[in-house]
Amino acid sequence: MVCPRCQSKSTVRYVKFSKTSDRQRYKCKSCGRTFTDLTGTPLSYVKKPVNMWDEVARCMRDGYSCRRIAQELGIAVSTAFEWRHRILASLRTRTDLAITLNGIVEADETFFRKSYKGSHFKNKMDPDARREAFFKAFGRYPRKHGKEAHKRGRSKEQVPVLVLRDRTARTASLIMPSMKTEEISRQLLPAIGSDTVLCTDAYRGYKTVCKAAGINHVALNQNKGERSRGIYHIQSVNVYHSRLKGWMERFKGVATKYLDNYMTWFAYIDTTRDITSGTWERRFLAMSCIDNKKVQKKSAPAKGLCVLCNEPILKGQEIGSMC
């Protein structure tokens, strides 16, 4: 086993949990810290049985709300919410590091209403005082029951999400503070290769960035009815926007601070929709729990079961390698 804290391979079996779990614990000879095979993953410190996470993955494949996940598994809504974002934050770390789009890449932005959902103030405050405190903190008064924003498109009330999609359906969704040229340059360029042909609408920010970076650029003026130019178009990314918006409706609005997690979630569902049930859940958990920034791949014990798929593993195999 490799210590997830100091990466030392000098570890020994320490003790098994006697009351709450039968999971083997290990001790690092270098730093003296103890850990299990789940330390540093979304499954760490979870008191529920590990095999319950197969059901969590199934519910996430089907896009269930937290309330429905709680009903299906017999857990609290707050627990379902915490588990969801543990998985998604880890999945986002992995996918963000892995994606670089090449070839013909379509780019277009879509907008989501800025939301401060979950940002609570002291309950003992007078309602008018809470309203004024919200205005002081966020620059606008709170909206009731999902009321529509006053402004559309590029405004302070909307959060732009720049979606990049190549012709192999690989997708990157970038949460943008604004659609200013410097922000587009900062987030767009690391996500595409040098041989990319970028297809966009006629927004000037894309042209400026591509010209400065030497990226081949095809700008389609959709206001004048130009939908395509030969093999170049942005119809694929616009169809993706439509599917994304429809999928997001079930959540009745999400907090802006969690928006990137939901973009990662939908992108993973969209690109793996042809994978059969069962296999999807194992791959999803393996992607979320293994080989992220916090924990390295580690050799499994000589005997035992994989924590993700419950299959027997042999000495020298890596956890998740059989999933």
Mean pLDDT, consecutive 10-residue stretches, the chain (323 aa), reads: 76 58 75 76 70 83 89 90 86 72 94 79 63 70 60 71 93 91 93 91 93 93 87 94 93 87 90 81 71 35 44 46 43
Q: What is the pLDDT of residue 3?
A: 81
5 in any annotated domain = no
245 in any annotated domain = yes
Largest CA distance in the chain: 71
Judgement on whether residues 202 and 294 belong to the same structural domain of the protein: no
Specify which residues 170 forms β-bridges with.
none
Q: Which amino acid is at 157?
A: E
178 in any annotated domain = yes
Residue ending a domain, among 231, 253, 275, is 253
Residue ending a domain, among 210, 234, 253, is 253
Q: What is the pLDDT of residue 144?
A: 64
Identify the CA nearest to 268 among candidates 96, 112, 109, 107: 96
Q: What is the pLDDT of residue 150?
A: 54
pLDDT digits (tens, 9 = 90+) for 25-35: 788 888 878 87
Q: What is the pLDDT of residue 119?
A: 66
CATH number at residue 180: 3.30.420.10
Task: Check residue 101 and report its DSSP letter.
Answer: B
How many structural domains compose the chain?
2
Q: What is the pLDDT of residue 124?
A: 54
Q: Cα-Cα-Cα-Cα dihedral of 221, 223, 226, 227, to 10°?
A: 100
Expressed as residue numbers, the domain containing 278 is 37-98+258-323
Q: What is the pLDDT of residue 22?
A: 63
Judgement on whether residues 243 and 181 belong to the same structural domain of the protein: yes
The first and second tokens of residue 56, run together, are 């969590």
Distances (CA, A) of 200 to 11, 214, 218, 227: 53, 15, 6, 11
Asked if 60 and 84 count as a contact pair (C-beta separation under 8 A), the reply is yes
Burial 241-273 (b: 16+ CB within 10 A, else e): beebeeebeeeeebebebbbbbbbbbbbbeeee
Q: What is the pLDDT of residue 194?
A: 84
Judgement on whether residues 163 and 106 belong to the same structural domain of the protein: yes
Give the span between the Cα atoms of 14 and 53, in whole angstroms. 26
Identify the CA nearest to 210 among candidates 241, 185, 240: 185
Q: What is the pLDDT of residue 18?
A: 46
pLDDT digits (tens, 9 = 90+) for 80-134: 898 888 888 888 877 765 678 999 999 999 999 888 777 665 555 666 676 677 6
Give the span between the Cα atoms of 68 and 202, in whole angstroms. 42
